[in-house]
């Protein structure tokens, strides 16, 4: 990696698509700067052709996710000092396991297609129920759903997952985590199809508990345990009991 001088940070940025090269920029250091500050500076002050994504800037939308020095991170919530650790330069790449659109922007469609394939959407009954569902917040099912419900679909877990890298058909931690929240939603009526989807060839049983997803989720979620729940449900179903 190219060394930085005392007041300038060296930043190696991926340019291109699936093939391309790293281009080095130098950005003035400032106290508490985030990686988003750095990449925005490059695009606005040095090279307007750089493609990257952000929206809220405050860690709520997940749009700014990319690979920073080998780790999938939200750039708005990653301080340069923390990302660098003992490295001398910042290295910015698009998220692994996604098709690159250009530079640091990736195509999220396959990610959301897997969400649908895992039946990660609420399935209402054909007829509305007679009365409101009673869902005690302290019930074990609601607690299981609540543990995973804050996912905003940023794609970091999918990017971190080795099984997705090795087997691109694998539904992945985000889709399976969402499926688990719905399995635990007592109002949902779509569990038969959902369990079929997550028990199929590309389903939950492919997870090897590497726990990259849990390690890197910026919301502190633990897809590993959601997927474990799906595995138990899959086994119970196979042995003839209700999921």
Partner 1 sequence: MTAALFIAQRLSAAVLAFAVAVHLATIIYAARAGMTAADVLARTHGNKAFLILYLVFVVAVAVHAPIGLRNVLREWTAWRGHSLNVALAAFALLLLALGLRAAVAVFVA
Partner 2 sequence: MMRASHRHPGFVAALLHRLSGLALAMFLPLHFLALGLALNGAAPLDAFLAVTRHPVVKAAEWGLVVALATHMTLGLRVLAIEFLPWRDRTAATVTSCLGAAFLVGLLLLLNGA
**What residues line the site for partner 1 (CB under 8 A)?**
163, 166-167, 199, 201, 203, 205-206, 208, 231, 234-235, 238
The single residue listed with the structure tokens 């995973």 is 148
The minimum distance between CB 216 and partner 2, in angstroms, equals 7
What token pair was written down for 180?
Answer: 């688990």
Assess contact for 10 and 3: CB atoms under 8 A. yes
Residue 225 binds which one of partner 2, partner 1, none, with CB within 5 to 8 A depending on kind? partner 2
Assess contact for 32 and 39: CB atoms under 8 A. no
Q: Which residues bind partner 2 (CB under 8 A)?
A: 69-72, 160, 162, 208-212, 214-216, 222, 224-225, 228, 231-232
The minimum distance between CB 7 and partner 2, in angstroms, equals 26
Q: Give the total residue count for the chain.
A: 243
The minimum distance between CB 206 and partner 1, in angstroms, equals 6
Beta bridge pairs of residue 21? 15
Residue 60 binds which one of partner 2, partner 1, none, with CB within 5 to 8 A depending on kind? none
The minimum distance between CB 191 and partner 1, in angstroms, equals 15
32: left (phi over 0), alpha (psi -120 to 50) or beta: left
Q: How far apart are CA 37 and CA 84, in angstroms?
A: 15
Please state the separation of Cα 238 from the chain's center in Å: 30
Assess contact for 50 and 103: CB atoms under 8 A. yes
The minimum distance between CB 168 and partner 1, in angstroms, equals 11
Residue 206 binds which one of partner 2, partner 1, none, with CB within 5 to 8 A depending on kind? partner 1
Residue 234 binds which one of partner 2, partner 1, none, with CB within 5 to 8 A depending on kind? partner 1
């Amino acid at each position: 990696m190219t060394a930085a001088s005392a007041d300038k940070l060296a930043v190696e940025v991926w340019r291109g698509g699936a093939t391309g090269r790293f281009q080095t920029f130098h950005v003035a250091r400032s106290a508490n700067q985030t990686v988003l500050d750095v990449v925005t500076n490059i695009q606005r002050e040095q090279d307007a052709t750089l493609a990257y994504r952000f929206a809220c800037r405050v860690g709520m939308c997940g749009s700014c996710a990319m690979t920073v020095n080998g780790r999938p991170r939200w750039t708005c919530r990653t301080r340069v000092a923390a990302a660098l650790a003992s490295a001398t330069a910042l290295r910015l790449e698009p998220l692994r396991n996604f098709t690159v659109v250009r530079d640091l922007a990736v195509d999220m469609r396959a990610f959301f297609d897997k969400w649908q394939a895992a039946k990660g959407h609420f399935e209402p009954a054909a007829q509305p129920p007679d009365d409101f569902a009673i869902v005690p917040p302290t019930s074990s099912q609601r607690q299981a759903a609540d543990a995973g419900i804050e996912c905003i679909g940023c794609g970091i877990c999918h990017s971190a997952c080795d099984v997705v890298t090795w087997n691109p058909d694998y539904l992945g931690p985000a889709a399976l985590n969402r499926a688990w929240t719905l399995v635990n939603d007592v109002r949902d009526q779509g569990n038969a199809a959902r369990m079929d989807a997550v028990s199929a060839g590309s389903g939950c049983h492919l997870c090897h508990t590497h726990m990259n997803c849990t390690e890197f989720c910026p919301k502190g979620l633990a897809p590993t345990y959601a997927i474990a729940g799906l595995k138990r449900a899959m086994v119970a179903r196979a042995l003839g009991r209700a999921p």
